[in-house]
Amino acid sequence: MEDVFNTLAKPTDVVLLKDRKSKFFGYAFPVTTEEEVRPLLDDLWKRYHTACHVCYAWQLGVGATLRYRANDDGEPNNSAGMPIYGQIKAFGLTNVLVAVPRIYGGTKLGVGGLIQAYKGAAQLALKQADIVEKTVSEQFKIGFTYADMTKVMRLVNQHGLVIVNQEMTDTCVYTLEIRKSKSKQVIALFKETYGVRLLP
């Protein structure tokens, strides 16, 4: 379904892959926006100040909003970022960042060796991840009078809506959240309910 996706419940612990004295440290983080990526990478650079590269890949969104980025950070073209991204796809994840700092060990690994090392570190990080299924939801706002409260609450309970916010003054304003696949149908029901208006 377009409104269900797998992601990480929490950041993973570090994993270490060694290849000919080079050290590859694998990390995976849940992220919801591109803006969250840079601070996480900056933190890894601080933690591994002797690293020669911090290669990474991320994927965000589902369906038509799906987007990704893979970065080799100076390693040979497609030898790091894409192998990391391949593991994100292999595990069927989104809203995730996988980063692999590398500390050079003095021996060149070649492109094939780099691909295997970055892929391996990403795979180890994701193998130990706590993966959870989430749904894409949508929020909308309605206004109504106290006299219409019973009708509104009946619809809220029937369709498993979450009340995100309530403003109770001389009238009532609710911000409601619903699973995206059901949103059009349920919003239409509120539009048809006398005394309830959809707010911007």
| Amino acid, res. 132 | V
**Residues 181 and 162 reside in one and the same domain:** yes
Average pLDDT, the chain: 90
Question: With left for phi above 0 and alpha for psi between -120 and 50, is residue 74 left, alpha or beta?
Answer: left
Which of residues 114, 133, 152 is at a domain's end? Answer: 133
> Does 141 score more than 90 pLDDT?
yes
**Co-location of 149 and 190 in the same domain:** yes
140 and 129 both lie in a single domain: no
Cα 3 to Cα 136: distance, rounded to the nearest angstrom: 5
Q: Residue 160 has which token pair?
A: 């498993």
**Number of domains within the chain:** 2
**Average pLDDT rounded to a whole number, residues 109-132:** 91
Asked whether the predicted pLDDT for residue 1 surpasses 70, the reply is no
SS3 assignment, position 20: coil
Q: Could you tell me the CA-to-CA distances from 99 to 36, 37, 168 in Å, in that order?
A: 13, 10, 46
Residue 176: pLDDT over 80: yes
Do 112 and 143 sit in the same domain of this protein?
Answer: no
- For range 62-87, the mean pLDDT: 89
- Same domain assignment for residues 107 and 145: no
Q: Could you tell me the CATH number of the domain that includes residue 108?
A: 3.30.230.30
d(CA 112, CA 90): 19
Q: What is the CATH number of the domain that holds 176?
A: 3.30.70.240
Residues 65 and 97 in one domain: yes
pLDDT of the residue at 65? 82
Q: Are 116 and 91 in contact (CB under 8 A)?
A: no
Domain co-membership, 128 together with 112: yes
Decide: 6 and 14 in contact? Cβ < 8 Å: no
CA distance 131 to 10: 8
> In this model, does residue 88 exceed pLDDT 90?
yes
Exposed, middle or buried: residue 72 (CB in 10 Å: 0-12, 13-18, 19+)? Answer: buried
Percent of the chain's residues with pLDDT above 90: 52
DSSP 8-state class, residue 93: B
**Residue 180 tokens, joined:** 């995206």
Instruction: Give the residue-averaged pLDDT of 23-28.
Output: 94
Yes or no: say if 177 and 138 are a contact pair by the CB < 8 Å rule: yes
Domain housing 117: 4-133
Pairing of strands 53-60, 96-103: antiparallel
Global pTM value: 0.74
Same domain, 122 and 182: no
145/112 same-domain check:
no
